[in-house]
Structure 1
Amino acid sequence: MKIHVLILLFFSSFGFCQTGSISGKITDGRDPIPAVNVIITPLGTSTVADADGNYSFKELPYGNYEIIFSSVGYKNNRRKITLNSASQVLDISLLEDNKDLDEVVITGTMKEVSRSESPIPVEIITPKLFKKNPTASLFEAVGMINGVQPQLNCAVCNTGDIHINGMEGPYTMILIDGMPIVSSLSTVYGLSGIPNSIVERIEVVKGPASSLYGSEAMGGIINVITKTPYKAPMISADYFFTSWGEQSLDAAVKIKAGTATSLLGVNYFNYNVRADKNNDNFTDVTQQNRISIFNKWNFDRKENRLFSIAGRYVYEDRWGGEMNWTKQWRGSDSIYGESIYTRRAELIGLYQLPTTERIFTQFSYNWHDQNSYYGDTPYMATQQVGFIQTYWDKQFGENHTFLLGAAMRYTKYDDNTPATARLDGSNSPQNTPLPGLFIQDEWALNSKHKLLGGYRFDYDKNHGGVHSPRVAYKFSPNVHNTFRASFGTGFRVVNLFTEDHAALTGAREVVIAEALNPERTYNGNLNYVLKVPLSFAVLGLDATGFYSYFTNKIVGDFDTDPTKIIYDNLNGHAISQGVSVNTDLQFNFPLKVMAGISYMDVFQKEALDGGGTSKVQQLHAPKWSGNFIATYTLPNNYSVDVTGNWYGPMRLPILPNDYRPEYSPWFTIANVQFTKKFDYGLELYGGVKNVFDFVPKYSLIRPFDPFNKDVDNPITNPNGYTFDTTYNYGSLQGRRMFLGARYSFF
């Protein structure tokens, strides 16, 4: 018996000394797939397939192995094999996996299309991404996208706008579910109060998209896509507070009622702690009390036709000013404060007609009321915007996807300034109809080439007909490389008064030049996307070069006639140009890093009366900027997130003989967060915002005389300074701790 055992052990050991090879070819069922990462376990040895999809392992001891095949854009394939001969062949066919590359996007083409197939480059923020640095509003969250800059424009009331590629806020169009729900008067506050719990993703398109979306889509689009109720958790909640006293609550619940499913979301934000860390007797951060309620309904219909309707109501009370200000001083010239009451209601809907053709009708309505005092200057305004569009989505053959539609936008605006008053003093609200037609064809030339052409015609009562064409081309030689090129024009029909209300004080007659032309832009960009599996990580690279030429900028002339404001086109042009690069690395160990860098040169050139031109850099447009996000996953469901943005010098508004520098310094705002995930959908998180405690050195000028009562005193004010709130390039909040909890139940 013992002899038999010894003989068996001898031959077994002899077998283990033998070696062989495993090789094969990797295809998608037809064509070879290059650069596939191949790992053989339990040895841990790896290799990368060559350009023809071939791989091989040599001098492997006989035995049992598992081989893992992974590549960007394909599902992982695990195959077990027993090596018992000198050479064995294992050919593999990988299936496409659209999980990473093919997130569904709609903004670039106004219909659902996978991100990798879209001829228009679209950047995405998901809730998973902006949970890495919790914010109380989407206004702050979009700052995680490279080249998108939330800019605070007032150091007292903390109102702001969103810059894309350095262009000012009025050139950025804000959409909710594809509807132009946020614009003009409401742009300042529109992204505040959208409950994070109802957001599925945020899509960003940089560059003009007027051929589909009309006026204001001149510099770019930010589209907030809300969750489909039936996909949402039954209950979700997110609450956090900071050491500065900020509190934010976000909650949502799903309700099923017959054939309808509803998602009800609530956002509440409160900050009522007065802080004056820079000792200028003004609040460093605006006091806010805001509540927003959102409700969306989806209805089940025959043949899966779409029907949804959603509404939102927002109320906000915000103020900033001197530390001893109270509401009894609202509108007085004794103690300075900027107090803004905002009420806002929105309605959004989508209905697919019960026809064999895919015909959709979308509609929206919003009412915005602002009751505000800036010191002792009142500004009372109401705006209503109604929008409806119908479009036909048609597939012609296998290669043409066609879109044809008509839209109508109607704006009614009224305020307490001379802008909406007749010469006799009677009220005359502004009414602006804006009808439009658009057409688009997406032509798949073959599996690697795609061409998109689009055109839109709008008619404005002041500007007449406006034409907006665009063309885009996508070339994908393989799953790892994508090239995109596009050219288009954009336009903006300026709502003069809602964007210039601060200047409209006094008894001035508003004059619009007879030959006033709409602002226009001509834009071209090149985009390259690379996805490469390396032996230690998967590398993603997204690089874009952009160039935009702006003409007919509409400006107000306050100097020619002191009794008039004359609006006319600028005698010159503006340019926004630069390069933006985003990278991401998903390592084989649990670390993921994303980083971006942008270089942009944004300036305006104006013809001088005596000949020549003057060049002026755009305010609040740093030439260099970037972002970074790093996530490391630890055992037992712990994780660490490091996020931040950095900015180079940006030009700031200064007064004559100003002691404050005209350009800001380089600065970084970095944050760190620690998260622990528990079973049953519970997460606890906490961390530090503004880790390096950066605070702008300068802000208000003459805060001790905010009503300019002593401004003409040559002894105390020899330089003639006036109280100024516009010099601002960053939050005055320093380092602060935060702690929060999230819960989701499906």
Structure 2
Amino acid sequence: MQQIPTLLLASVCAFSAHAALPDNPPTTLSHPLSATEKTAATPAELGRYIALSPAENTEANITGHVLDAKTGLYLPAVKVEIRGRHLSTMTDATGHFFLKDAPVGALEVEFNATGYRTLVKKIETRANHSLLLNVELEADEIQLSDVVVSATRNVTKRRQAPTLVNVMDLKLFDRVQSTDISQALTFQPGVRVETNCQNCGFSQVRINGLEGPYSQILIDSKPVFSALAGVYGLEQLPTNMIERVEVMRGGGSALYGSSAIAGVINVITKEPLTSSATLSHDLRGMGGLNRFENTTNLNATYVSDNNRLGFTLFGQLRHRAGYDHDGDGYTETPKLDGRNVGFRAFAKFTDYAKLTAELHGTQEFRRGGDLLENQPHNAHITEQLQHANVSGSLGYQQTSVDGRHHFNAYASLAKVVRDSYYGGGEVLVSEYLKKAQHTPLTPNELEDMNKRLTSYGRTKGETSVFGAQYAYDFDRFLFLPSQLTLGAELNNDCLEDISGYRPAPIVQKMHNQGYFLQNEWRNEQWSLLLGGRLDKHSLLAKAIFSPRASVRFNPTHDLVLRANFSTGFRAPQIFDEDLHVDNAGGELITIRNAADLHEERSKSLSLSADWYGHCGNWNFNIMVEGFYNHLTDAFSLEQKKEIIGGKEWTIKTRTNSDGAKVFGANLEGRLAYARLWSLQGGLTLQKSRYDKAQKWNDEDSYETRRFYRTPDTYAYFVTTLTPLRGWEFSLNGTYTGSMLVGHEVPLDEHGNLAEFAGRPAATIVEKRLQYGPGQTATIAGPRTFKTPSFFEMGVKVQYTLPVYKYYTLQLHAGVQNILNAFQDDFDRGPGRDSAYVYGPRAPRSFFAGFKFNY
């Protein structure tokens, strides 16, 4: 294994020595190409000639502007690049650009902008002359020209990527009125975001039916999003810091290491493109107009005139009141106060070398339960978390003059500090103290009060990622042009969890060394990718090799057929999203790994067809994907009660089951008529089954092969109408089919259904109960329920008006969850099962706001 880092280091040294020179350099440049030869040359040949040309002050300048083909408005932040040479600039706020000292001769200039089709113009420049180049870009409502990095770890056009990658951009965030990434991810096929705690609002993302720990969340392609950060992290990533989100379904361990079995979500933060500023504020009334959420966003970007230096700043302030849906005095949505601030910057030393830096900080307070204004220990039930998170990265990118060699080195660090309180009881601490002034407390009362006062905890997590990657482009390798990529990555994660009611802290230290190698043969019609990754995880005795193979075939320009196979693994660890006090009230809950627990393995196969087309003003895209994921030694949790030190504990033990299968189909379609109307929708049909029947709780006799909290059917749609200039009407919806959930029905001291405020503490809908041997509708305790299906729909209206020159003001308003589809059987009172929560995350909510742009 030690030979691999040596090979990588040797490759980097070779790159450093030859990056400035192309392959087979001529001995002299005294015989330049003629104008006729330049015109006849292919782009690759022309790029090679440009790379060989000596650097000089040519005074061959290119200037012009870029307009929207339909509206005639000037377009800022359009990338203008000379093909074959890394010389580029961006249009400014007025839509104008200036390229200084361009190469002399026949050139191809490429124009790229988010939401517009790529345009290439052929020109010819002359020394000491300026060329005027004005162009118009046509809108791309179905994202024909998306560029992705998640498929191969290299920049690739989505249509030419060997693996299917879905992209969510700023337009989608805006149309569905998403404040954070968790609200937007639902609008992707095969992806669901669910809430798992009624008290604290913990949420997780599921890809193709597999729960959160099976998916790898990346920040700018780096796996710095740890298990600790993932518990509440989805709500801590504001959309105003994000440029786009790439979703790659299926096994990704061959590229990104452990925990990428279900797929990869790559969050790409905003890169400075052009000087601009945005200020916005949104007001949302939850369940009416008496509980509100306020969100203020600020973005500012500066880019120098020569495009050598740039930075973007972002900030978000967010306040959400606690929301009690059923009026029992206990929140269904926690109170939240959040502050996010960060920046991303770049510096280009030359046209071929770039340094990037990113820093992001989060301060968040959330609390759920009752008596939110009291101290945490002086409430009947409290889940309170206070986060102080910081993450940052530094990256260096170098490309050779001829564009063949690509080197990338990076370092990312993240630190999470979480102060927590999980606890509660029937009697308030203040009542105990008041009683103690007159009557001594009993031993049980003293023990309960002491448990309440010591239920504070602190969790610290530090994650670091260091890596380097090298890629080389072959004109021809064996039978086709190809790109070879190799790299190494070191991931360290250290976590310490201390809780007052646990006898000892949980300490978890892990590190993983990963080495990857792949080669992609490709042309316009074919792509064949073969590669693999070798990982040595500190929790595993042996290294794990994860191979990967992908084939893309374009029988026509507009039809893309893909086949992918990959393997993956998930290492056993104690702390994960499922280590969470989901039954508050001071109950002692912990998790263990079985003595013989070993890694979970997967084999993934997918087949897809991606068809693009247009007819006049109509454009469409239809995607059909079939997937199959076989898990061996799949992790499962067994829950039971144990008496430890005279106290009752809930023990969750992670074991290896016999295996499981997840299979089904994703369908997605996009349809647009000019810029007047667009429709995007997706449907997932799937089955998630264990090889043998499982019980979620030893006290529930119901057994099933079906995964819990995983519907067989779910779907989404987003449609937008722009009838008049400045006006936009959006309608969106999500459908979640029926699924199984576990419910610990609250009991009284006699083992019967508990009561709260003269009413049953739980609503038992008998037709939803699933029966095991010996169970009846009157038996409480741990039971399995089948949820109803939900359809959630929202509408938004916005109007954009010009204010002064380059300033615009956007006003918007709308309703989320118009039909008020919401869970109707929440538990009530302090003994409730806070994990018994499903369906939409919020009831009917009204919102309004503004956005001021420069």
Give the TM bin, normalised by the shorter chain: 0.7 to 0.9
Deviations 1:352-409 (A, max 9, x none): 2587742211111100111111224444211101111111111122411011011101
Which residue of 2 is the match for residue 294 of structure 1? Answer: 342
Match of 2:250 among 204, 207, 223: 207
Which residue pairs with 2:554 in the alignment? Answer: 476
1:600 aligns with 2:686: yes
| In the alignment, structure 1 residue 401 sits paired with structure 2 residue 444 | no
Distance 1:265 1:336, change over 3 A: same
Change in Cα spacing, 1:404 to 1:492, as seen in structure 2 (3 Å) is same
Map 1:586-597; keep pairs closer than 5 Å.
586-587=672-673, 590-597=676-683
Match of 1:17 in 2: none
Please report how far the alpha carbon of residue 327 of structure 1 lies from its aligned counterpart in structure 2 after TM superposition.
3.8
- Give the deviation of 1:575 after TM superposition: 1.4
Map 1:269-308 → 2, pairs under 5 A: 269-272=318-321, 274-308=322-356
- What is the identity, as a one-letter code, of the residue corresponding to 2:187? M
Question: What displacement does 1:566 show?
Answer: 9.1
Q: Deviations over 1:589-615 (max 9, x none)?
A: 711111211111112233789xxx964
The secondary structure found in structure 2 opposite 1:131 is: helix
- Show CA shifts across 1:667-710 (max 9, x none): 2111111111112332111111111121211122xx3343xxxx
Q: Residue in 1 aligned with 2:396? A: 351
Q: Which residue of 1 aligns with 2:164?
A: 121
Q: Is the 8 A contact 2:231 2:577 kept in 1?
A: no
Unaligned 5+ segments in structure 2 are 1-41, 43-115, 122-136, 287-291, 425-454, 696-701, 746-752, 754-761, 769-784
The alpha carbon displacement at 1:634 in A equals 1.4
Structure 1 residue 233, shift from structure 2 partner: 4.6
Q: How does 1:160-175 map to 2 (within 5 A)?
A: 160-175=203-218
Q: Which amino acid aligns with 2:737?
A: G
Q: Which residue matches 1:621?
A: 710
Distance of 1:608 and 1:501 partners within structure 2: 20
2:606 corresponding residue in structure 1: 525
Q: Which letter maps to 2:300?
A: V
Structure 2 partner of 1:325: 372
Aligned ranges 1:520-669 → 2 under 5 Å: 520-534=601-615, 537-555=618-636, 569-587=655-673, 590-606=676-692, 615-655=704-744, 659-660=764-765, 661=768, 662-669=785-792
| Partner Cα distance (2:392, 2:309) in 1 | 18
Shift of 1:347: 0.9
**TM-score of the two chains, using structure 2 as the length reference:** 0.69
Deviates more, 1:346-355 or 1:476-485: 346-355
The whole-number CA distance in structure 2 between the counterparts of 1:560 and 1:639 is: 56
Q: Where does 1:333-372 land on structure 2 (aligned, <5 Å)?
A: 334-352=379-397, 357-372=405-420
**For 2:326, what is the secondary structure of its paired residue?**
coil
Contact preservation (8 Å) 1:291, 1:314: yes
Contact in 2 for aligned 1:453/1:470 (Cα 8 Å): yes
- Among candidates 674, 681, 698, match of residue 797 of structure 2: 674
2:333 maps to amino acid:
V
Change in CA separation of 1:498 and 1:585 when aligned onto 2, cut-off 3 Å: closer
Whether the aligned pair in 2 keeps the contact of 1:508 and 1:562 (CA below 8 Å) is: no
Aligned match of 2:278: 236
Within-5 A mapping of 1:457-472: 457-463=534-540, 464-472=542-550
Aligned residue number for residue 40 of structure 1: none
Letter in 2 for 1:599: L
Bigger mean CA offset, 521-530 vs 100-109:
100-109
In 2: Cα distance, 1:475 partner to 1:419 partner: 59
Q: Give me the CA root mean square deviation.
A: 3.1
Equivalent residue number for residue 247 of structure 1: 294
- Matching of residues 52-451 of structure 1 within 5 Å: 100-229=143-272, 231-244=273-286, 245-255=292-302, 260-272=309-321, 274-322=322-370, 324-328=371-375, 330-332=376-378, 334-352=379-397, 357-376=405-424, 377-398=455-476, 399-416=481-498, 429-444=507-522, 446-451=523-528
Tell me by how many angstroms 1:76 deviates.
Answer: 12
Give secondary structure in 2 for the equivalent of 1:190: helix
The Cα shift of 1:173 comes to: 1.0
Alignment partners' CA distance in 2, 1:255 and 1:74: 24
In the TM superposition, what whole-angstrom CA distance separates every residue of 1:108-141 from its partner, at most 9, and x where no partner exists?
A: 1111010011001000000011100212211111
CA distance in 2, matches of 1:682, 1:174: 34
8 Å CA contact retained: 1:485, 1:524? yes
Contact 1:414 1:429 in 2 (8 A): yes
| TM-aligned CA deviation for residue 102 of structure 1 | 2.7
Cα shift readout 1:313-364 (whole Å, capped 9, x = no counterpart): 1010001112x33242x134x4212111111010112112587742211111
Distance (whole Å) between structure 1 residues aligned to residue 143 and residue 201 of structure 2: 37
Query: Normalising to structure 1: TM-score of the pair?
Result: 0.78
Which of 640-649 and 369-378 deviates more? 369-378
Matched, 1:697 2:812: no
Q: 1:497 Cα shift?
A: 2.1
Match of 2:530 among 453, 456, 473: 453
Q: CA deviation at 1:540?
A: 1.5
Letter in 2 for 1:179: K
Counterpart Cα distance in 2 of 1:144 and 1:625: 11
- Secondary structure of the 2:178 match is coil
**Whole-angstrom CA distance in 2 between matches of 1:674 and 1:194:** 25
Letter in 1 for 2:560: T
Tell me the CA shift for residue 520 of structure 1.
1.1
Rounded to whole Å, the distance in 2 between the matches of 1:600 and 1:506 is 36
SS of corresponding position for 1:341? strand
- Does structure 2 conserve the Cα–Cα contact (< 8 Å) formed by 1:549 and 1:574? yes
Q: CA deviation at 1:195?
A: 3.5
- Residue equivalent to 2:3: none
| Residues 394, 403 of structure 1: 8 Å contact kept | yes
Check 1:588–1:729 CA distance in 2 against 1; reply closer, same or farther (3 A cut): same
For the 8 Å contact 2:598–2:656, the answer to whether it is kept is no
Confirm or deny that 1:687 pairs with 2:814: yes
Q: 1:485 to 1:278 in 2, by over 3 A?
A: same
Q: In 2, Cα distance between the equivalents of 1:171 and 1:290?
A: 27
3-state SS, counterpart of residue 397 of structure 1 = strand
Work out the CA distance in 2 between the residues paired with 1:614 and 1:726.
20
The CA distance in 1 between the partners of 2:736 and 2:815, in whole Å, is: 20
- Percent of residue pairs bearing the same amino acid type: 23
In the TM superposition, residue 308 of structure 1 has moved relative to its aligned partner by 0.3
Residue of structure 2 in register with 1:736 after alignment: 845
Retained in 2: the 8 A contact 1:284–1:732?
no
Alpha-carbon spacing, 1:419–1:205, altered in 2? closer, same or farther (3 Å): farther
Which amino acid is 1:250 matched to?
A: N
CA displacement 1:537-558 (0-9 Å, x = unmatched):
3232011111101122234556
Question: How far apart are 1:457 and its partner, in Å?
Answer: 0.6
Alignment partner, residue 9 of structure 1: none
1:138-190 CA-to-partner distances (Å, cap 9, x unmatched) read 11111111221111001121111001111101111111110112120110222
Q: May I ask how many residue pairs the two structures share in their alignment? A: 626
**Do the aligned partners of 1:195 and 1:265 also contact (CA within 8 Å) in 2?**
no
Q: Output the CA distance in 1 between the equivalents of 2:501 and 2:210.
A: 26
Counterpart residue identity of residue 628, structure 2: Y
- 1:69-107 Cα shifts (integer Å, max 9, x gaps): xxx989799xxxxxxxxxxxxxxxxx9999942311001
Taking the aligned partners of 2:323 and 2:641, their CA distance within structure 1 comes to: 44
Structure 1 match to 2:568: 490
Q: What is the one-letter code of the residue matched to 2:392?
A: L
